[in-house]
Each structure stands twice: as structure tokens, then as C-alpha cells.
């Protein structure tokens, strides 16, 4: 308790933040961790930490602003590009909601295609297909086309449980991500765990701290007034603690994405979610 009080006092002093204990709604939904090694006793989606009006916005596909980015992705899915003149639909079928079922909930992971073998998240897999199969330029992180395609792949698994594998070839990335999760970064000397493991359920200023689950990404964030990726959120967290962020799509954030996704294994995919 003394250590926790010291951390909170330090954050308040350096950033002007104030904390207050909050309560989740009585009827919140939680899940048992699928792996007994998970440090959490119960796994809770960030949805449960949002106010009712935000939840209602996510629940209504006509009100959810991220659905407009999904439309961009569905158009991009059918658009031929590159020297091969191919589209995503040419290889994967016209409807990603059918062909991508069972895919989005399993990333990031190792994929192997011929001589190409690497650990990838959905965004990196999309760019691999573009550069190696379509002869097209890679899409940039957090641009509408990339966000839209990533949402399309994840949205196909909406309601299905997160199910990332952390054994075999993925194990080194898992261990790296775990180490990063508990490492202090930045001038504030904070780790992911300080907020999302030790203090979830508390308020920092007006924000209700969640477990930092990734089951809703890419998602619409009100602070951004737009849609963003998991790695954009990681980058924002690092800036908040006055640390220099790692590069989106590179090994460090891929490892952290794997570890945080594993912590939420069993949570239903909500992509595209709505958050503060």
C-alpha cells in the first residue's frame, strides 16, 4: 500500500493527476483467464469501464463512428493495386466477413508463406500481402485504408474470443512483451502494470482506468476524434509518461501487443470499439 501511495503521489505531483476509487456497475461482465499463468483474477473489457452513453454508441452500428472506417476498408478490399493488378478479394473472396472468420482473433502470430516466415500483427500481414503478392506499396499505420482493412479482418471475428498463441515460435516475443509490461519507462518511471494491473478501476482525473485490453482495436477514441490502432495507443501511453515511443509495427510494440492480447484471451472481439 505504501508503494502504491508513493506512485500515485508521484504521478499527481508530476502530471497534475488526481486519483479516486471508482466502482464498476453491479452487472459488469468478466471472464475467467484462459491461462492460469495470467496475473489477473478476472478479465474485463474496457467496455465495462465506460459510461453508458459511450457503451450505447459502440453497441449501435449506425451510431458507432468507426463503422465509417470499416466502409473505407471494405472499399479498399475490392480495389486492385500494384503491378499484379490484384485486390484482397481476388485471393480471399468478396466478403471478408466470411473469409476472415477465425483470423482476426488470433493475431499477432507467426505466419509462414514459402520462404517468408515472420511474427506479424494484422497490419504487418496486410502489408506483406500488398508488397509480396500484389506488387503494391505498403500502407502506412493509422491511415484510413490500413485502419479500415484491419477493422474488416477483426470485425469478422466480432463476438469470438481472443485466442492468441504464445508458445512455440511466439514464445520469445511473449517473454519480451511481458518484460516490457513491467518495465518502468520515461521521466515518470511508470510501467503498464502500474495503471492497468495495480490501479484498474480507479480514476485518473476524469478517466476510469481499465485493464488495458486490446480486444476492441482498432477503435474510435473520443480524445482522438478518430480511429486508431493498438500501436497508436501504446505510443500515446508512452508519451503520457514522458517516454520516447517505440516505432509502430516494429518488434517492441509487436511483442507488447502479443502480451497484452494474451492477458485478454477469452474476451470477445469488439472491433471497432468506442472508448474515451
What whole-number distance in Å separates Cα of residue 30 and Cα of residue 33? 9
For residue 179, give the 3-state DSSP assignment. helix
Look at the block and give the residue holding cell 480524445. 223
Catalytic residue numbers read: 237
Which residues, at least 6 apart from 68, have a Cβ–Cβ distance to it below 8 Å?
A: none
DSSP3 helix / strand / coil % (the chain, rounded to 5): 40, 15, 45
The answer to whether 270 and 158 are in contact (CB under 8 A) is yes
- Is the bond into 129 cis (omega within 30 degrees of 0)? no
* Dihedral of alpha carbons 209, 166, 233, 71, sign: negative
For residue 96, give the 3-state DSSP assignment. helix
Q: Which residues pair with 269 in a beta bridge?
A: 158
Alpha helix locations (H) across 21-142? Answer: 52-59, 67-77, 88-92, 96-99, 122-128
Which residues, at least 6 apart from 77, have a Cβ–Cβ distance to it below 8 Å?
A: 87, 88, 89, 96, 149, 152
Nearest to 54 by CA among 195, 221, 189: 221
* Beta pairing, strands 219-221 & 274-275: parallel
Look at the block and give the residue holding cell 478518430. 226
Amino acid at each position: 500500500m505504501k508503494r502504491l501511495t508513493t506512485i500515485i503521489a508521484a504521478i499527481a505531483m508530476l502530471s497534475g493527476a488526481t486519483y479516486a476509487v471508482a466502482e464498476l456497475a453491479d452487472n459488469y461482465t468478466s471472464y475467467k483467464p484462459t491461462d492460469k499463468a495470467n496475473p489477473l483474477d478476472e478479465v474485463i473489457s474496457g467496455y465495462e469501464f465506460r459510461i453508458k452513453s459511450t457503451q450505447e454508441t459502440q453497441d449501435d452500428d449506425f451510431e458507432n463512428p468507426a463503422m465509417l472506417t470499416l466502409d473505407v476498408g471494405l472499399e479498399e478490399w475490392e480495389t486492385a493495386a500494384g503491378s499484379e493488378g490484384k485486390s484482397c478479394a481476388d485471393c480471399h473472396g468478396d466478403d471478408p466477413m466470411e473469409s476472415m472468420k477465425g483470423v482476426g482473433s488470433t493475431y499477432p502470430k507467426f505466419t509462414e508463406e514459402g520462404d517468408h516466415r515472420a511474427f506479424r500483427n494484422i497490419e504487418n500481414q496486410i502489408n506483406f500481402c500488398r508488397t509480396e503478392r500484389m506488387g503494391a506499396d505498403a500502407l502506412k499505420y493509422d491511415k484510413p485504408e490500413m485502419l479500415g482493412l484491419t477493422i474488416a479482418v477483426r470485425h469478422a471475428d466480432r463476438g469470438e474470443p481472443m485466442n492468441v498463441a504464445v508458445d512455440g515460435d511466439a514464445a520469445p516475443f511473449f517473454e519480451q512483451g511481458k518484460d516490457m509490461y513491467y518495465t518502468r519507462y520515461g521521466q515518470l518511471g511508470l510501467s503498464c502494470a502500474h495503471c492497468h494491473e495495480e490501479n484498474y478501476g480507479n480514476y485518473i482525473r476524469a478517466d476510469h482506468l481499465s485493464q488495458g485490453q486490446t480486444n476492441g482495436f482498432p477503435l474510435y477514441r473520443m480524445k482522438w476524434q478518430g480511429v486508431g490502432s493498438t500501436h497508436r495507443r501504446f505510443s500515446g501511453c508512452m508519451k503520457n509518461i514522458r517516454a520516447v515511443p517505440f516505432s509502430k509495427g516494429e518488434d517492441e510494440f509487436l511483442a507488447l501487443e502479443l502480451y497484452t492480447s494474451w492477458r485478454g484471451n477469452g474476451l470477445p472481439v469488439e472491433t471497432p470499439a468506442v472508448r474515451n
